[in-house]
Chains A and B, each alone.
Chain A
Amino acid sequence: MKKTFLLIAAALAVSAVIVVTAGATSSATPGVTAKSILLEGTFPLSGPASGYAPIPVGMAAYFSYVNAHGGVNGRKIDFRYEDDGYNPANTVQITHKFVEQDHAFALVGGLGTEPQQAVRDYLNQNKVPQLFVSTGATTFDRDFTTNPWTLGWQPDYEAEGSIYGKYIAKNFPTAKLGILFQDDDYGNDYLRGLKAGLTQQHLPQIIDAEGYALSGNPPATQVAKLKASGADIFLIFATPTPTIQAYVISTKLGWHPAHIFTNSVSATDAFLTIAKKSGSDNTDGTITVNYLLDPANPLYNKTPGMKAYRAIMAKYAPKANANDGLNIYGVAKAWTTVQVLTAAGKNLTRAGLMKAARNMNFTVKAKKANPYTLPGVDVRTKGNYQFPIAQVQLVQYQNNTFKPISKLINGRGA
């Protein structure tokens, strides 16, 4: 034991020497040279959320296309992305690497509410743009004063919830609503939005709202209570797995509500097909929202955006499944990124990029609408309004495709 204490004492003494070492900081605009701009992002390429892996593939394809046509203000975009497996601990380490080792100019498209929340303070402290995160958590748009270097892109969950509220108030003003929601920030974002959309007048339409904790138990009791409440519209504000379970449980209980609304994150063809194969006959007729051109639906094949999208994917990502809507999500996001970089000008700085991102006006009116979103969707930010995309269209699931059932609706009422 004496030896041990000697060793400990020696260790303490010697490692105190490390403290003497200090660090230096680098200069200029990181990640920008005369010929290139370095953009990086973390995505779950492996693990339980790896279904989202096509997003950076779509982004990379669009950047390659832009580079082949001269780049942005004479600079080529160098887009690199790494796998964080949806583990925030990995996201943090890779983000440190992007900033301190690679000296990325900006981080673009980073995926996931929790992983992006884990690095938000770090990026804001280091004044590195955290642009167009791939999550609809309202905080990434709403809390821009405390996080001036962070911005979302897609419609936020609150806005989406309010659209369901508005639609129901208008079209089913006497229906009884039963809601299943995940009892955390995610589900409550939707619930808050729904109530705002219904307005005070229609709030009593909600006859039951059942929260569930994401603790692994399928929401069986909650769905049973909702059935017993006599609701005839079933709203599911849940992540994919509990959503699929809710479809299967409601079918097994013999509950066939007149309408089912499911939040867009979980209402994809892939997830609804799983629910169907797991024994649910409630999936057809599901109502959700969309704001992008849908490559799985032939309806959009003749739009210029879809034609350009297919050409880009064929040339720059030939192995990818271009019918997967997540690719066009990536392409549409990369388009916005290129527009913002262009607007930031030849003399590129991080502050300049954020200024451009905070003043986006890629609208139909300005004749600069994003070609990969639904016709009429604006990407717009200004002053205290920092919700880039807020318009969506309600769509209904029939025979493995989503058919539009409404005009564009603005979830932020602007």
Chain B
Amino acid sequence: MRRVTALVSFGVLVTAVVLAPTFFTHYRLFQLALVAVYLVALLGLDILTGFTGQISLGHGAFMGVGAYTTTILVVDHGWNDLLTIPVAGVVAGLFGLAFGLPATRFAGPYLALATFAIPLSFIGLLKRFPHFTGGGIGKNLPQLHSELGLHMNPSVWFYAVCWMIALVMLPLAFGIVRGRFGRALRAVRDSEIASTANGVSTATIKSAAFGISAFYCGVAGGLYAIGITYVNPDTFPIDLSILLLTGIVLGGAGSLYGMVFGALFVEFIRISWGPTILNGISRVHHLDTHAPGSGLVVYGLILLVVLYLAPAGAAGVVRRLMTGRSTVAGWSKPRSTTPSDPATGVEAP
């Protein structure tokens, strides 16, 4: 029964992805392509935070590592951009693994603080080695263009590439969080002591989760660079990492399908919804919504409202709508032995 629901959900997503190009403009498809990019990043972060219980405030930097890997290979070494994607994932994954090994000594908020250092040092390193990274001025990539002999609008092409990769990475994530390995991840999240007592090496599991999540973010970063066609340190600010974490909370940490909603939020809040809401407010109240920082206010308000009304994120809402129960495959939060989810601090419904 659970498998069937999961397959149906996947089918619905695939159908939506295939049909979207007939309904949306090229610009919207470009945005939806970036939704797929964020989806890949959020899936990775969800494996680490939602399933393994390790909070990271630094995964924007792993996207950055992937983006720079792609950029340097394409611009300085003449690689085909699509071929750089797996390399971007592996390089970022190795960075994640390297960070995960020492980081496993930290727990809870201490780990979060340690991960906060990743984007800070990443930006510093980019500026420290300008001959390699392009420094503050960054690097331009070739403009988007369809490949493989196809003559398509560049935005449509990018949309197709991003969603094809996302629709591979999603089932892959299901594979990762199922089975022995997945149980070990959840065991570490729910009780490190209990999992150690049962023969699970928490250090290995945590490092592996860091590596896998960074791999996902690296793939996302490679695609991001191809789509944005430019990288510099400002492209990967610290608030990107925080926005990713917000995305998994709003999508529903510990739910993989929920990440689709998280990704929609991450993409649209910055570019579309925020400004629309601000314009609405300025019409009603004649407030100066172009004042610096007013966008952040809206962003914070949405976060507060969503967390108040739907503490389990979008996945929790869908779960309730579908069944009134809390255990639907794919949508449900994996069963927890503790009363609260360590990722969100929210009680499981």
A contacts, CB < 8 Å to B: 1, 3-4, 7-8, 10-12, 14-19, 21-23, 45-47, 50-51, 53, 56-57, 82-83, 85-90, 92-94, 96-97, 100-101, 113-115, 117-122, 125, 183-186, 213-216, 319
Contact = CB atoms under 8 A, between A and B. Distances in A.
Contact of B237 (A12, A87, A125): A87
B340 to A, nearest CB: 30
Contacts of B31: 93
B324 interface: no
Contacts of B235: 87-89, 118
Given A3-B3, A92-B229, A101-B27, A83 B160 contact: no
A89 B224 contact: yes
B295 interface: yes
21 contacts: A7-B171, A11-B170, A14-B18, A18-B160, A23-B156, A45-B292, A46-B292, A56-B290, A85-B295, A87-B235, A87-B237, A88-B138, A88-B234, A90-B271, A94-B271, A96-B30, A113-B137, A117-B140, A184-B137, A214-B127, A215-B124
Interface in B118-154: 124, 127-128, 130, 135-138, 140, 143, 150-153
Given A11-B14, A11-B164, A213-B130, A88 B230 contact: yes
Contacts of A214: 127, 135-136
A121 B138 CA distance: 14
B282 to A, nearest CB: 12
Interface string B1-39: 001000100100010011001100111101100100000
A1 B292 contact: no
Interface of B: 3, 7, 10, 14, 17-18, 21-22, 25-28, 30-31, 34, 124, 127-128, 130, 135-138, 140, 143, 150-153, 155-156, 159-160, 163-164, 167-168, 170-172, 174-175, 179, 224, 228-230, 232, 234-235, 237, 270-271, 275, 288, 290-296
A100 B26 CA distance: 7
The 5 closest A-B pairs by CB, nearest first: A23-B153, A50-B292, A118-B230, A7-B171, A11-B167
Which of B34, B153, B155, B235 has the most chain A CB atoms closer than 10 A to its own CB? B235
A15 B14 contact: yes
B179 to A, nearest CB: 7
Given A7-B171, A53-B292, A93-B30, A114 B156 contact: no
B137 A46 contact: no
Contacts of B150: 19
Nearest to A101: B27
Given A83-B275, A113-B137, A184-B130, A125 B152 contact: no
B310 to A, nearest CB: 27
Contact of A46 (B159, B179, B293): B293
A170 to B, nearest CB: 33
A91 to B, nearest CB: 9
Contacts of A21: 21-22, 152, 156, 160
A114 B136 contact: yes
Contact of B137 (A14, A51, A117, A216): A117
A329 to B, nearest CB: 16
B25 A215 contact: no
